[in-house]
Amino acid sequence: MNVGTITLLVFITVLLGYAIALYNGLVTLKHNVRRAWANIDVLLKQRHDELPKLVEICRQYMLHEQQTLQEVTAARAAVFGANQRHDVAAVGMGEASLRKSLGQLYAVAEAYPDLKADKQFKHLRERITTLENTIADRREYYNESVTLNNIRIESFPDLFLARCFGFRAQAPLEFSAAEKADVDLKALFN
């Protein structure tokens, strides 16, 4: 073999190795996005299971506050339905509605000293608050994973492999401006 052939073989081997490394990096990012969403999914299901218990405890104390309880139930159903459809945008909108209705529920609960003192209510409220905080952390990780994935599949030279093998951009979990706005505590207590 002459030097030109050896050089060509080395070049092809290095190029192939580089392509394999790029491909494996894209696969890792794709699976990181899926894993991040699966983590959110688990937490949403846990919260989905806890909310009916909270609503039932509140219902026993607040017979005339049915609208607030119905809003929590409707928002819970919206998030669950969007999650089942894997509709990230609808999950974001449902989350906004659920957070608002939970805030109203907690504000209304302030008017019921027996409810506030109820051990089950306290436990469920703490559990849901913990789940909310964990969901927020996981949402941040999910969005970071989505961003890394989307950057890689649009960057040169990764974009060639991404297009050849069908890697797709993922949608971040975003919330409306109303969801990001400060809560009007005065309005909740009126």
Query: 25, 141 in Cβ contact below 8 A?
Result: no
| DSSP label of 39 | H
Mean pLDDT, each 10-residue run in order, the chain (190 residues)? 88 92 91 87 80 73 66 79 78 77 74 69 79 84 89 88 89 63 46
Which pLDDT belongs to residue 177? 54
155 CB contacts (<8 Å, ≥6 apart)? none
* Per-residue pLDDT at 116: 65
pLDDT of the residue at 11: 92
pLDDT value at position 183? 44
Nearest to 165 by CA among 25, 11, 12: 25
What topology is assigned to 3-188 in CATH? de novo design (two linked rop proteins) (1.20.1440)
Domain residue spans of the chain: 3-188
Single pTM value for the model = 0.59
Supply the pLDDT for residue 115.
Answer: 66
Angle at CA of residue 45, ends 138 and 35, nearest 5°: 40
- DSSP code, position 155: S
Other residues' Cβ atoms within 10 Å of the Cβ of residue 5: 9
Query: Measured between alpha carbons, how far is 180 from 132 in angstroms, rounded to an integer?
Result: 15
- Cβ pair 66, 148 in contact under 8 A: no
pLDDT at site 49: 79
